[in-house]
């Protein structure tokens, strides 16, 4: 008589709201603080640069795009550094640097100083994300890692939402003093988060041994074609975030009779539903087959959401609002599934001896998608209506269906079976 292996102890209770693991509680604390700070700055940044510093909107947009390119490039070097010197010291240094760059925003007075500061901030902030994810790989047990990541994502949503609410106060005041206080609060949040990381237990600071694989070297992740293919497919599914933040507000204003505040309502709904369901969505997604199924379903649900959004053109204001909310719910289901699946494949196919570099690559793929998404959504759905929505839907379906073959390709590597991050079967 055979028995199934016991499931690992859950790290959270009450649908993921309260961590039961002391280490996860520490991770939640600095995650909440960091997200709250970013939530403060996110809604006020562009208005601060244009209304207070006096820069042109187009110049700011170009500058932030250039900074974003530097951010994408920074992920792999930072990951290599964390593999070489350890996650904790590297992440601590990166977050202190983010705090310094944010504080510098309060004294910029020219476009050159804005551009230099924006590049520094984007590079440090984007680089820190891959290192942070590698830190999670070190300290969270493989059997509960996806659930732990889901809990931390819930915490991030709560922190960003609370920070955004306070940021709205600065928008109402609309003064240099108000913006400056919020920017400095975000800087302090980064520094305090860095100190909390530095004080993590010693095991969280371990520097993994990075043995060279013949013919690959320490930066092998950038030449690991199967892993890069999975990274690209995950990036396509990640286009949905900009679809919600950029594409849908433009669609509502230009193509529907729904109230303009519908976009804000949908964002609030998204934050609430992700916080409620992200942990639950990880159940059954702790291994690679489960991740493949989740990402396939995510692609199909995203295509359905695109079709629902396309149907809102020509409806009455109330009808358009109801259908938009229905589409937003479908999109949330796709979002929590793709996030859970992405965490599993991102960790499960990586070489555990170079987790920093691999997470840097994986995170850079998502960052590239974030940069490309506004233009892609505009030239499809916004410019071509239902046909454009169909193109986006087909793109999502193709990415979701492509994950399975890409994962099977990656698992053919003999070294990956030995050195890939273990996942629960």
What average pLDDT score do residues 365-389 get? 88
The two structure tokens encoding residue 342: 């992405």
Q: HSE on the CB side for 139, CA within 13 Å?
A: 28
pLDDT of residue 395 exceeding 90, the answer is yes
The contacts of residue 230 (CB under 8 Å, 6+ apart) are 345, 346, 349, 403, 406, 407, 410
Q: HSE on the CB side for 123, CA within 13 Å?
A: 17
Distance CA(147)–CA(193), nearest Å, equals: 22
- How many beta carbons lie within 10 A of that of residue 47, not counting itself? 15
Q: Quick one: pLDDT at residue 194?
A: 92
pLDDT of residue 113 exceeding 80, the answer is yes
**Over the stretch 29-72, which tens digit does the pLDDT of each residue have?**
888 888 888 888 877 787 788 888 888 877 887 888 888 889 88
| Residue bearing the bigger pLDDT, 48 or 245 | 48
Q: Quick one: pLDDT at residue 20?
A: 67
Question: Which range has highest mean pLDDT (101-105, 129-133, 154-158, 212-216)?
Answer: 101-105
Least trusted range by pLDDT, from 153-167, 332-346, 386-400? 153-167
Estimate the crossing angle of helix 262-281 against helix 317-348, to 10 degrees: 40
Q: Quick one: pLDDT at residue 262?
A: 84
Least trusted range by pLDDT, from 25-29, 158-162, 217-221, 323-327? 217-221
What average pLDDT score do residues 375-390 get? 90
Going by C-alpha positions, the residue among 153, 162, 116 that lies closest to residue 133 is 153
3-state secondary structure 212-240: CCCCCCCCHHHHCHHHHHHHHHHHHHCHH
Distance CA(301)–CA(326), nearest Å, equals: 12
Distance CA(332)–CA(329), nearest Å, equals: 5
| Count of helices and strands (H, E) across the chain | 16, 2
Q: Measured in Å, how far apart are the chain's first and last C-alpha atoms?
A: 19
Q: HSE on the CB side for 223, CA within 13 Å?
A: 7
Q: Quick one: pLDDT at residue 3?
A: 43
Distance CA(14)–CA(67), nearest Å, equals: 40
What average pLDDT score do residues 369-384 get? 86
User: What is the separation of C-alpha 338 from the centre of its chain, rounded to a whole number of angstroms?
Assistant: 11
pLDDT of residue 424 exceeding 70, the answer is no
Q: Would you call 78 exposed, middle or buried from its count of C-beta atoms within 10 A (0-12, 13-18, 19+)?
A: buried
* Residues 403, 333 contacting (CB under 8 angstroms): no
Q: Quick one: pLDDT at residue 116?
A: 94
Q: Exposed e or buried b for every residue in 291-308, given b needs 16+ CB within 10 A?
A: bbbbbbbbbbbbbbbbbb
**Over the stretch 63-100, which tens digit does the pLDDT of each residue have?**
888 888 898 888 889 888 888 888 899 999 999 999 99
**Over the stretch 163-173, which tens digit does the pLDDT of each residue have?**
877 777 776 77
What average pLDDT score do residues 213-239 get? 80
Going by C-alpha positions, the residue among 173, 132, 156 that lies closest to residue 39 is 156
Q: How confident is the model at residue 13 (pLDDT cuts 50, 70, 90)?
A: very low
């Amino acid at each position: 008589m055979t028995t199934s292996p016991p499931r690992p102890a859950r790290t959270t209770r009450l649908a993921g709201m309260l961590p039961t693991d002391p280490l996860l509680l520490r991770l939640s604390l600095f995650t909440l603080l960091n997200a709250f700070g970013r939530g403060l700055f996110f809604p006020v940044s562009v208005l601060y640069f244009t209304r207070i510093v006096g820069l042109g909107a187009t110049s700011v947009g170009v500058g932030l795009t250039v900074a974003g390119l530097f951010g994408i490039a920074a992920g792999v070097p930072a990951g290599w550094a964390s593999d070489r010197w350890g996650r904790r010291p590297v992440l601590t240094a990166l977050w202190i640097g983010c705090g310094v760059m944010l504080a510098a925003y309060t004294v910029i007075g020219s476009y050159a100083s804005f551009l230099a500061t924006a590049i520094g901030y984007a590079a440090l902030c984007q680089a820190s994300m891959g290192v942070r994810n590698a830190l999670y790989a070190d300290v969270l047990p493989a059997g509960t890692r996806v659930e732990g990541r889901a809990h931390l994502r819930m915490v991030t949503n709560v922190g960003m939402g609370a920070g955004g609410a306070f940021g709205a106060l600065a928008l109402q005041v609309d003064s240099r003093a108000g913006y400056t206080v919020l920017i400095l609060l975000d800087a302090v949040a980064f520094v305090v988060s860095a100190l909390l990381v530095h004080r993590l237990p010693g095991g969280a600071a371990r520097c993994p041994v990075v043995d060279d694989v013949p013919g690959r070297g320490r930066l092998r992740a950038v030449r690991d074609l199967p892993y890069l293919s999975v990274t690209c497919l995950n990036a396509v599914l990640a286009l949905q975030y900009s679809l919600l933040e950029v594409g849908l507000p433009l669609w509502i204003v230009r193509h529907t009779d729904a109230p303009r505040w519908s976009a804000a309502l949908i964002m609030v709904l998204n934050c609430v539903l992700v916080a409620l369901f992200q942990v639950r969505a990880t159940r059954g997604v702790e291994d690679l087959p489960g991740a493949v199924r989740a990402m396939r379903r995510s692609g199909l649900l995203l295509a359905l959401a695109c079709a629902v959004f396309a149907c809102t053109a020509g409806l009455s204001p109330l009808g358009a609002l109801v259908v938009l909310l229905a589409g937003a719910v479908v999109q949330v289901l796709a979002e929590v599934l793709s996030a859970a699946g992405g965490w599993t494949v991102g960790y499960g196919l990586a070489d555990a001896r170079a987790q920093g570099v691999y997470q840097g690559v994986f995170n850079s793929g998502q960052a590239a998608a974030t940069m490309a998404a506004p233009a892609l959504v505009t030239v499809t759905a916004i410019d071509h209506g239902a046909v454009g929505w169909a193109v986006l839907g087909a793109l999502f379906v193709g990415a979701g269906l492509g994950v399975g073959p890409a994962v099977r390709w990656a698992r053919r590597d003999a070294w990956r079976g030995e050195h890939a991050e273990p996942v629960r079967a």
